[in-house]
Structure 1
């Protein structure tokens, strides 16, 4: 059978402004097992261009696949594009089987299959084993009931099979790197780049996270095997930068240190960027020199809020003092710190925005990423904001860069004004300008200057879009009226096997108490096959 993996174009500002693209890791992750099973697989990455939906249909028609598989790291904000594309594909190729996977369809599978006849099958949860079993069943003409982790239609009824089991051995399925031309993918100002995962999942209970339950539990790859794979990508394909898609790559100090030491031993000039928790940076204060020697140049710290009450309400499991210390430690070791600030967890007032700006000044991060709280129906956060009003009706803009929910007492124009003022203030403060011009080594300076150039372009683009292309609802429906009831009972997407690989806190005296066994993904995130 011929299978075409399609990475649909995304409307998010971040996808369009940098003019650089990273490989779609989720699709490559299912591509490798499918190739190894003997199937003819190709990738169509429509982010390049980006391609129009009509152009995608024409290229699909030229390949004449039996099956098209779609997914996107943008997940919910890419959903409308996926549906529109599949409708055109079905018109052009009526016998085509469309398979849709990723975070959003994992939780909305029944609605999608009831309301969208252009989607034939939904893959729920991790895709490597499920998609291979699915295609083998389709190829042999077998019934799909025995394939775990899917949903499909039969005789007008929507049928779901039992949840797929977690993949405990993350090295059991190889990534289909041969599906891409590495010369086309870059990041960080022209550096040849790939996306990888060291670990999947997160043990913390942040109630807004749209991916925490998707992975169900934290697991990691073999540290030495991953280091060798990254070194091979550098030596054979000229890869210079590694972007970690993990929610928490540093979750196990022991495993993460083993990876850093193995990569140092490979002696390859790679740069590493990713996201982690401030607490792990503080925990690793004595080995941060290994981070830098291995090539870590920037970590995004999921700080989210600078108010202790808000941190408690969203179950972040962090403190403001720990966050500030992590930024200081990263700077001490020549690693760029990026702090997030999320607007909309509560209905902030003007005074709250001013206080957050003052906290940001005090934290003094090298870079900031300002985001808007975006509710997902399968998260506990959804119920806490279900009665708030929706002002952004276009779900393609539910990309964390647009305000979705109204705030009482602060109209959208003033929220936007605060967000742009905070970004401008942080980028133009004297310390930031000094780091941009003088501080650090060549890699540090490149990171600061590249991000500033991109940030400037995004900033002006967002202002223009808000002024001229941002229709908002003045008296919109409540979130519950707009999206429907909560799906929080579906949060954990995978069946748990009896034997698990836990975060090794017990073996790590500096780590603290073991994680609660019920704790457990991006975008993400970038997953299988989002």
Structure 2
């Protein structure tokens, strides 16, 4: 029995990204569940409304909020920038329906845009900046006790008509100290990878590399990982008790420490559970782990997404990618040798490109020979070091709901938007329909490999056709839009580090584990 009178409703807003609509499958909102667990443990009455199912229209979401009658409404989304406008609409409707409700907003976008959000959106009462597990509980407890909010680190709010922010909260040193509120969801509703019961998890947070365009690195401030054995036991429990089959890692770099990652793999193998693992990592870590890739496969790893990003060495150096073409190719070869699918993420638009650049991109991708490919468009977030380097480029897409990496947002002066789009779709078609890719659909390493290749090919085909239809019928790039700085405002890259690192000894211990 919860002892606290506050009724809290977590709302996962419907997302507009194409990819979230096509598979007809749904993954749990890890961020909200990570906040929900500590709130439950603090004695609060907590419920989750996942409006991605459907997806629910705004009127239906408002109706369900009104039916619950919460004291506090908490919202956030992993697709932070592209979900922002939808969250603002839900908040406004909720306030109109329940004027006494208080609304808390968290995530990457509001962490940095807190002043703009509070100044322009009276429906938002409080913003949690940075990691939310501890800060949200402290904020809710302060609201309940009516204590001075300025004593709570890591929040922003209005005081005497002015927008104020407290000092950054300290980074969570022990990621196992706050549990995920898995009981807030019905696991049978969530699936991925061809209707396999699925969850999203984090083994680690952050990344020690300095990629200038990354919108996540500074949010987590420093790379840390969970206890490998405890983490393996949690995944095994989810499999045994909830029937979970697919584990989707949300980490930027789960393999950041070879020692910790190997310990996790060995612990999961010892649990003897039939799990499929998918995630993202760096090519360099795959090359580093050549001697333990058999453990990856035995533990259930079937696909890793590798951020290839580009072929031009000068561009890779400019964006501080910290990798080489040779390393990228070797990582793909090693993964294939062990029956693990390689998905190459390739970014269009870092520099002012020409038709020749796109032709060269296709040639290099064919030479890389990844099993799958994901083409995305550069999306300059205001808090990244990349933002000021392109502040004078023109914006061709001012609907921020489309700032999801799958829509062009910056103009390329030498190639019109329609031809950039044509190049992207042509590259995707050539890569996924080339003879090598087709052969792997039917004669891949093993049954699990072939299932993964076929599932992604089916989804990719549907997304490809959907994007073409949307571009022809609905997407209208601006002919002469504002500059990036005019659209978003001045750069916030000096505020990139969202959290205080805390005690130096902890930071030193974390660095040793890299």
Structure 2 counterpart of 1:465: 470
Residue of structure 2 equivalent to 1:137: 142
1:58 deviates by 0.5
Alignment equivalent of 1:500, drawn from 492, 495, 506: 506
- 1:448 corresponds to which residue? 453
**Does the aligned pair in 1 maintain the 2:269–2:298 contact within 8 Å?**
yes
Aligned to 1:58: 63
The alpha-carbon deviation at position 303 of structure 1 amounts to 1.1
Partner residue of 1:229 out of 234, 249, 253: 234
2:356 pairs with 1:351: yes
Q: Deviations over 1:225-265 (max 9, x none)?
A: 00000000000000000000000000000000000000000
The answer to whether the 8 Å contact 1:261/1:294 transfers is: yes
Counterpart-to-counterpart distance in 1, 2:44 and 2:508: 34
- Which residue does 1:77 correspond to in 2? 82
Q: Helix, strand or coil for the counterpart of 1:205?
A: coil
Other-structure match for 1:256: 261
State TM-score, norm by structure 2.
0.98
- Other structure's SS at 1:302 match: strand
Determine the C-alpha separation between the residues in 2 that align with 1:500 and 1:327: 35
1:384 is aligned to 2:384:
no
CA displacement, residues 177-209 of structure 1 (integer Å, 9 cap, x when unaligned): 000000000000100000000000000000000
Question: Is contact 2:280–2:304 with CA below 8 Å preserved after alignment?
Answer: yes
Q: Matched residue of 1:380: which SS?
A: coil
Whole-Å separation in 2 of the counterparts to 1:63 and 1:229: 31
- Structure number with greater CO (CA < 8 Å, separation at least 6) is 1
Q: Which residue of 1 aligns with 2:441?
A: 436
Label 1:108 to 1:504 Cα distance change in 2 as closer, same or farther (>3 A). Answer: closer
Q: Is the 8 A contact 2:126 2:156 kept in 1?
A: yes
2: distance between equivalents of 1:189 and 1:506?
39
Distance 2:41 2:495 in 1: 32
The Cα shift of 1:505 comes to 6.9
Instruction: Say if 1:279 and 1:322, in contact at 8 Å, map to a contact too.
Output: yes
User: Which digits, 9 at most, give the CA deviation of each residue in 1:398-427, with x for residues without a partner?
Assistant: 100000001011000100000000000001
Secondary structure class of the residue paired with 1:435: helix
Contact 2:110 2:117 in 1 (8 A): yes
> Contact (CA 8 Å) 1:98, 1:121: kept in 2 or not?
yes
Matches within 5 A, 1:100-115: 100-115=105-120
Cα deviation 1:307-346 (Å, max 9, x = unaligned): 1111111000000000000000000000000001100101
3-state DSSP of counterpart to 2:113: helix
d(CA) in 2 for partners of 1:294, 1:352: 40
**How far apart are 1:114 and its partner, in Å?**
0.8
Counterpart of 2:42 in structure 1 is 37
Match of 1:120 in 2: 125
* Pair 1:187 & 2:192 matched: yes
Measure how far apart 1:274 and its partner are.
0.2
Deviation at 1:506, TM superposition (A): 5.2
Match of 1:209 in 2: 214
Is contact 2:199-2:246 (8 Å) kept? yes
SS at structure 2 position matched to 1:247: coil
Residue 75 of structure 1: CA displacement?
0.2
Q: Give secondary structure in 1 for the equivalent of 2:386.
A: helix
Tell me what 2:3 maps to. none
User: For 1:181-330, what aligned pairs fall within 5 Å after superposition?
Assistant: 181-330=186-335
SS of 1:69 mapped into structure 2: strand
**Equivalents in 2 of 1:30, 1:94: separation in Å?**
24
Say if 1:298 and 1:163 are closer, same or farther in 2 by CA, change over 3 A: same
* Unaligned runs of at least 5 residues, structure 1: 508-513, 515-530
1:7 pairs with 2:12: yes
- Asked if structure 2 preserves the Cα contact closer than 8 Å seen for 1:252 and 1:505, the reply is no
Query: Among residues 97, 101, 104, which one is paired with 1:92 in the alignment?
Result: 97
Alpha-carbon distance in 1 for matches of 2:84, 2:125: 15
Question: Is this contact kept in 2: 1:219–1:502, CA < 8 A?
Answer: no
Maintained 8 Å contact 2:223/2:510? no
Question: What's the counterpart of residue 369 of structure 2?
Answer: 364
> What is the rounded CA distance, in whole Å, between the counterparts of 1:458 and 1:126 in structure 2?
32
Instruction: Output the aligned Cα RMSD.
Output: 1.0
> Aligned to 1:262, what secondary structure does the other structure show?
helix
- Any stretches of 5+ residues in structure 2 without a counterpart? 1-5
Report if the CA contact (8 A) 1:342-1:372 is conserved. Answer: yes
Once the two structures are superposed, residues 329-370 of structure 1 have per-residue CA deviations (whole angstroms, 9 ceiling, x without a partner) of: 000000000001100101111000001100010010000000
CA distance in 2 between counterparts of 1:443 and 1:435 reads: 12
* Cα contact 1:197–1:245 (8 A) shared by 2: yes
1:118 and 1:48 map into 2 onto residues whose CA distance is 24
Match of residue 165 from structure 2: 160
- Deviation at residue 503 of structure 1 after TM alignment: 7.5
Q: TM-score, normalised by structure 1?
A: 0.95
How many angstroms apart in 2 are the aligned matches of 1:469 and 1:425?
A: 25
- CA offset at residue 44 of structure 1? 0.3
C-alpha deviations, 1:96-136, integer Å up to 9, x for none? 00000000000000111111101000000000000000111
